Amino acid sequence: MAQTIKAAIVGTGFIGPAHLEALRRIPNIEVTGLVEVNQEVADAKAAELGIPNAYTFDNMLKDESIDVVHICTPNFLHFPQAKACMLAGKHVVCEKPLSMTIEEAEELVKVAKETGLINAVHFNLRYYPMVRQMRVMRQKGELGDVYSVMGSYLQDWLIHKTDYSWRLDPKQSGGSRVVADIGSHLLDMTEYVTGLKITAVMADFSIVHPTRLKPLKAVESFSGKALDPKDYEEYEVTSEDYATIMLRFDNGRTGSIVVSQVNAGRKNRLNIEISGSKSNMEFNAEKPNELWIGHRDKANSILMKDPALVDEGARSLVSFPGGHQEGFPDTSKQLFKEVYAAIRDGKQPEAPTFPTFADGLRELIIGEAIVESNTKEAWVKI
């Protein structure tokens, strides 16, 4: 492969430009293509974002110069687009969830294995340096035996009845919303850090606004903008705004998580606390450069993100000296660095350090069990 790896991005909502910005910070990667719903929109967005080529999806597939495709479209497009890209010989980085159903995800895992192409899912939040530090400390035995996990992922961008997103439409988003959207990040992080597998779930969902006012004009997610009353229509909501989930792990211990998009003032607060026989660790994504470490018989401590202080296994995710803050945009950059190193090597690693389609399938299996548990009001084994 040539020194410069060429990529295309499909979709220009919130997350597509985030992928673009992260890729532009990595040497020898060039985003040469932008794909949108039609040529007119693609031309406009490509000009706005400074990308030289604009395509419809089918035309992008025909361009043999594009090595990698980043799929940043609504959920229902992930499966057909990821499959088409791999069959066209292109490596794929796909947003989560990987697909709408377990069967689709299983097919993508199969196609990825058959083609040998690099495949990754954008579970970027495990790429905060202090999350990797938690994992390394657990691997070194500093946590001890895991006793419990408590987690939450809280946002407020859907708190008002007039808040609307394509994620509220099950035809585009799937049967679950808050669990699939942000809960998947927290569940992935829980298994990644602890090294444990979730074996059973018990879930209870809440729909705060059974009907919402859907805008008849475009309103960007997270913008906080409102329209006139005449510019809305009533819309019945079937997916959860809030979920409480109890977990059982394969070491016999338990945990719990809460996920919500209706908690005022919580803009993007992912919090995970892991209790062990030797210590306790807590990470909060709104304070991403800190790791709280709790002890029974000595003073608690806060480890600040610093390449001179974190363990070697976490140091590769730190780009700046201590005191220089790193946050959400850096997580995608660090994930993509590992993915593109594999692309440069030309093969999917036997034990990838980055989240793969198999990890995407795993989260769909857990997510479907959570939805089933809420429906049955019972524990569901995984």
Six-digit token string for 177: 């919303």
**Under the phi-then-psi rule, with left for phi > 0, alpha for psi from -120 to 50, and beta for the rest, what region is 308?**
alpha
Residue 282 bridge partners (DSSP): 273, 292
Q: H or E element: which one contains 6?
A: strand 5-10
- The Cα–Cα gap between 281 and 375 comes to 33
Give the model's pLDDT for residue 187: 98
Mean pLDDT, 10 residues at a time, the chain of 382 residues: 88 96 97 98 98 98 98 98 98 97 98 97 98 98 98 97 93 95 98 98 98 81 66 93 98 98 97 98 98 98 98 96 96 98 92 96 98 98 98
What confidence score (pLDDT) does residue 347 get? 87
Tell me which DSSP letter residue 365 carries: H
Q: Residue 264 burial (CB < 10 Å; 0-12/13-18/19+)?
A: exposed
Nearest to 242 by CA among 374, 341, 357: 374
How much is the pLDDT for 228?
Answer: 75
- The reported pLDDT for the residue numbered 215 is 85
Could you give the CA distance from residue 65 to residue 33 in angstroms, rounded to a whole number?
Answer: 10
pLDDT at res. 23: 98
The residue written with tokens 């003073």 in the block is: 299
C-alpha to C-alpha distances, 207 to 105, 114, 225, 240, nearest whole angstrom? 27, 41, 22, 5
